[in-house]
A and B are shown apart, each in its own frame.
Chain A
Amino acid sequence: MIVTRELTKRFGHVLAVDHVDLEVREGDRYGFLGPNGSGKTTVVRMLLGLVYATSGQIEVLGRPVPSKISQVLPQIGSLIEAPAAYGHLSGRANLLLIDAAGPHRGGRARSRRVDEALDRVGLGGIDSRAVKKYSLGMRQRLGLAAALLRAPRLLILDEPTNGLDPQGIREIRDLLAELNAAGTTVFLSSHQLAEVEQLCTRVGVLDHGRLVLQDDLDALRGLTGRVIVRSPDADRAAALLDGRVAHRDADRLVITEADPAAVNAELVSAGLRVTEVSAERRSLEELVLSVTSSGSDRIDGPRFGQGARRHQPGPAAAGAVPTEPGLADPVRPGPVLADPVRVDPAADEEA
């Protein structure tokens, strides 16, 4: 569906996208992750022919972009950064204009298409008020409706749930899953890890313009080979499993043992009570944080140490990821695929 080879974009002296080899297969629900300013939007704009690559090739729906862009775009629905609309017109009038603006495909069916798209995103009963009076969530839905207007084969969405409440986020997630089941490939660019984790089957992670990770989500979120135990008799459990306790946090133990059933049996047969036992899994958050550095929106002063920066997840990630057992741990077991070079003005001074 989308293949890029050595895709590179330079804005003046800034290398925004650096030799990116994306591969999105037909039917994928692809999550495109990365900190703010890592180049996600530039990649998305290059896929849509809005920004021209400095070097490298792009193929979308089997055709080269941007040379054959006019054949590709009619089959793509897109939401690029924030949704946009003419504020003085109603949502329906906006969609009618957008539909009429594209290549002509039956003006007669236009109003039916618009109604269908509005229904899909939950704006079916919208009145004729001007878009400038819409809430952020309504604008987001309208933007999605515009993307869905012509039953696209490929949806390229940048932060589609921005501004929606939890109910709305769930609705949109269900809608995207439904469209995907009907054959639409979904390419979702986001920094909301939770959103990607819940929807996507495959992820690519961008950091400072480089694709540092691209794989199936299931493969990435594999077992770590450790077991997490919660027990009111944590002291005795720690003593019993001495040597295999990797980490202890009050009544929560991390055991270097692959099989939760074996650990459970061992504890129970020693007469210890077990509240909870489970195999530890890598979370997407840990993975992404291990391969990326802080986003370009963070600008540290010279006194700010490197260590503190390492362990501070970005504000968005911190708010978005639900706290599950086993995630609070600052260990980063994931494969470190890239070691971003950091310029730390404090390092020299403090040495």
Chain B
Amino acid sequence: MIAVELLKLVRRPRSWVSIALLCGLPIVVAIFVAVTHVAPPPGQGPALLSAVLSNGSLFPAAALAIVLPIFLPIAVAVMAGDSIAGEASSGMLRYLLARPVGRTRLLIAKLIALVAYVLLAVVLVALTSYLTGRLLFGNSPVAVTPTGITTTNVVANTLSGTGLTPEQVILRTAGAVAFIAVSMLGVGAIALFLSTITDSSLGAALGAIAALIASGVLVALNASAAVSPYLPTRYWLAWLDFFRQPILWRDIDRGFEIQGVYVLVFLAAAWANFASKDITS
């Protein structure tokens, strides 16, 4: 069943269209920045972008920062929201279960396909933007950005301080990719759970996105500081700490932990709901 789900993933045009869009947006940004040489002022616009002009190998990280707030979670929520609800609304769910595919097995296969999709998306974004960055921007190891606001500090700290070797940049980008993939799995788990509740994949995807937006609002609100450490988007940007010197592990670790909890809780809820549910679609 796992092989079947992976096959369905790669044979579905939607998977590739969404990944192409994810890879396309950073390329468009890169072209504009490279042509005009107008990077957003430090501290505004996507993180790290101002540093990219001088060092193209930082562009994968900048590209991830571009797709992370909206594009990537939407793509993941749509795929995960569609996983069970899509089968239900197309009518295939009853035929799969009557084949028989055990309900737990089906859920696991869907989860593995989802993990594969998330990894594929994040890694392809990193790879295409690495190529774009190397092609369009320079490779000088020195940073230029003046210090000022948090994100620039991040950049300035690493690059103006000790400077990173190309290997270090790649390694740290890989760390960021892993962190973002796990964060996206948190989104996916929420959407997968909703997908077992409703027969509408749109509903499940929008529900997960609504949860993220709500979390984003609360994280930004001082009044809700008491709950913010437990919200799913609280540590989403912690991967920027990979680009500090030395790496600030505290928020990264917290981020991994909180996403792990979200993934476990929502997968357990999805399983409990799906295994005991009447399939009437």
Please give the residue numbers on chain A whose beta carbons come within 8 Å of chain B beta carbons, in ascending order: 11, 45, 48-52, 69-70, 73-74, 76, 78, 80-89, 93, 97-98, 100-103, 146
Closest 10 CB pairs of A and B: A84-B91, A73-B100, A50-B279, A102-B99, A51-B278, A84-B92, A48-B98, A78-B98, A101-B4, A100-B4
**Contacts of A11 on B, CB cut-off 8 Å?**
278
Q: Does B226 contact A (CB under 8 A)?
A: no
Q: Is B94 an interface residue (CB 8 A)?
A: yes
Whether B98 pairs with A89 at a CB distance below 8 angstroms is no
The residue on B at minimum CB distance from A47 is B98
Q: Are A84 and B8 in contact (CB under 8 A)?
A: no
Shortest C-beta distance, B152 to chain A (Å), equals 46
Name which residue of chain B comes closest to A146, CB basis.
Answer: B95
Residue of B91, B95, B279, B280 near A98 (CB, 8 A) is B95
Q: B99 — which chain A residues lie within 8 A by C-beta?
A: 73, 98, 101-102
Neighbouring B residues of A87 by C-beta, 8 Å: 90
8 A-B Cβ contacts within 8 A? A45-B278, A70-B102, A84-B90, A85-B90, A97-B7, A100-B4, A101-B96, A103-B100
B250 CB within 8 Å of chain A = no
Residue B222 at the chain A interface, CB threshold 8 Å: no
**In the complex, what residue of chain B is closest to A82 when comparing beta carbons?**
B91
Closest to B12 in A: A88
Given A84-B90, A84-B94, output 14 extra A-B contacts at Cβ < 8 Å.
Answer: A48-B98, A73-B100, A80-B94, A84-B92, A85-B90, A86-B8, A86-B90, A88-B11, A97-B4, A98-B99, A100-B3, A101-B4, A101-B99, A102-B101
Q: Are B90 and A50 in contact (CB under 8 A)?
A: no
For chain B, the bracket of interface size reads 20 to 34
Q: Is the CB of B98 within 8 A of A73?
A: yes
B98 close to A76 (CB less than 8 A): yes
Q: With A51-B280, A84-B92, A86-B92 in contact, is A74–B100 under 8 Å at CB?
A: yes
Contacts of B1-58 to chain A: CB distance below 8 A: 1, 3-4, 7-8, 11-13
Among A52, A78, A102, A146, chain B packs the most CB atoms within 10 A around the CB of A102
Residues of A within 8 A of B92 (CB): 84-86
CB neighbours of A100 from chain B (8 A): 3-4
**Knowing A84-B91, A103-B100 touch, does A50 contact B4 (C-beta < 8 A)?**
no
Q: How far is the CA of A102 from the CA of B101 in the complex (A)?
A: 6
CB contacts (< 8 Å) of A45 on chain B: these are 94, 278-280
- Shortest B195–chain A CB gap in Å is 17
Distance of A246 from chain B, by nearest CB (Å): 47
Contacts of B13 in A (CB 8 A): 88
A314–B17 CA distance with the chains assembled, in angstroms: 48
Q: Cβ of B140 < 8 Å from any Cβ of A?
A: no
A80 to B88, CA, bound (A): 13
Smallest Cβ-Cβ distance to B280: which chain A residue: A51
Interface assignment of B97: CB less than 8 Å from any CB of chain A: yes
In the bound complex, residues from chain B placing their C-beta under 8 Å from that of A98 are 95-96, 99
Q: Quick one: which of A52, A69, A74, A97 contacts B278, CB cutoff 8 A? A: A52
Q: How far is the CA of A89 from the CA of B11 in the complex (A)?
A: 9
Closest CB-CB distance, A107 to chain B, in whole Å? Answer: 10
With most chain B CB atoms within 10 A of its CB, the pick from A50, A73, A74, A86 is A50
Residue B165 CB within 8 A of the other chain: no
Distance of A70 Cα from B1 Cα, bound (Å) = 15
Q: For residues 75 through 125 of chain B, which have their beta carbon under 8 Å from a beta carbon of chain A? A: 90-92, 94-102
Task: Give the CA-CA distance A306 to B102 in the complex, in Å.
Answer: 48
CB distance from A86 to the nearest CB of B (A): 7
A84 touches B276 (CB 8 A): no
Contacts of B90 in A (CB 8 A): 84-87
Within 8 Å CB of B278, what residues of A?
11, 45, 50-52
- Min CB distance, B192 to chain A, in Å? 19
